[in-house]
Amino acid sequence: MNEKILRIIALIFRKSPHFRGKYRIGKFIQKLFIKKNNWQNPEFFIQLKNKSELFIDIRSKTHSIPFWTGMRDDEIINQIIKNLTPNSIVLDVGANIGYYTIPIAKKISTLNGSVHAFEPVKENFFSLRKAVERNRVEKNVVLNQFALGDYNGSIEIVKTEQGKSSNAVLSFNDEQYEKGLSKETIEIKMLDDYMNQINRCDFIKVDIEGAEYFLIKGGTKFIEKFKPVIYGEFNAFFLRKFGFTLLDIWKILAPIGYEAYVEDRIKKGKFIKTEVKENLIDVLFLPAEEKATKKWITH
């Protein structure tokens, strides 16, 4: 009964206008009703404000945020959608359960385009597939259950959350960090080898917990050929665990004609040009000659 009541309260929260502290209040209410590991049925679908239906595991902190707020990166997703053109192809690298894949696929289905989603974690891929089927976007989504890196083979990852769906990072042999966390061996491929699968690429969204350098290094030819807009969350903590910083990624992208931008704090979803520094997190890389650049930046 407590679970049913809590889900009704959360539904009301998701449908209500956003306000500061909504998630914090929701988590407080959740703790009053149910302890984190006492859910009898922790996996279910929820509908976000953008009408995407996602299959979540409420035991995951990552999933509990949209469970209460009904939102996840809405400003940037809306901006991506606004910049889609007929036949657009978008790569969602680190697709998780479909936060970006589903809303973009819904729009791109009207433009004869496609989303290529990459999610190597078994549980996340299961939830992603369920979301694709639930939202009826199978014809416009290509699901890839492997990671993208700088070689072809396999690698061990560490799952950083409890629950059947969770975040994960590449194993970097840090016993103190990885202690008590479960691991999984996944397939890894190079983005350069994906060139024969598509004839264009307009946008790459990447969120792979510090492994972004390996993606870019293994996809240099792909990026040079298609010159996609690239948006990513570049976690400095995880990048440093592998011995890299955002500057190392910049050393690859700058020579092939990219410029760096960060989100305008006033005009959400719009970006301003920036100097690349190690501590930048959410960064948009635009080809200097990109005709659509003006659609992204603040004037």
CA angle 276, 168, 69 (to 5 degrees): 80
Query: How far is it, in rounded angstroms, from Cα 118 to Cα 130?
Result: 15
- Give the pLDDT confidence score for residue 177 in this predicted structure: 52
Where exactly are the structural domains of the chain?
A: 2-69, 74-149+191-296
The CATH homologous superfamily to which domain 74-149+191-296 belongs is Vaccinia Virus protein VP39 (3.40.50.150)
Work out the burial of residue 111: count CB atoms within 10 Å of its CB; fewer than 13 is exposed, 13-18 middle, 19 or more buried: middle
Report the first-to-last Cα separation within the chain, whole angstroms. 53
Query: With contact defined as beta carbons under 8 Å apart, do 284 and 250 qualify?
Result: no
Rounded distance, CA 227 to CA 224, Å? 6
What is the per-residue pLDDT for 183?
80
- pLDDT value of residue 266: 80
Please give the radius of gyration of the chain, using alpha carbons only, rounded to the nearest integer.
Answer: 19
pLDDT of residue 153: 96
Helices 2-15 and 22-33: crossing angle in degrees, nearest 10, is 170
Q: Per-residue confidence of the chain (299 residues) as pLDDT tens digits?
A: 689 999 999 999 999 999 999 999 999 999 988 876 789 999 999 999 999 999 999 988 889 999 999 999 999 999 999 999 999 999 999 999 999 999 999 999 999 999 999 999 999 999 999 999 999 999 999 999 999 999 999 988 877 765 555 565 555 555 545 555 678 899 999 999 999 999 999 999 999 988 999 999 999 999 999 999 999 999 889 899 889 999 999 999 999 999 999 988 887 778 999 999 998 989 999 998 755 556 777 65
To the nearest 10°, the Cα dihedral for 241, 193, 189, 149?
A: 0
Residues forming beta bridges with residue 282, ordered by sequence position: 233
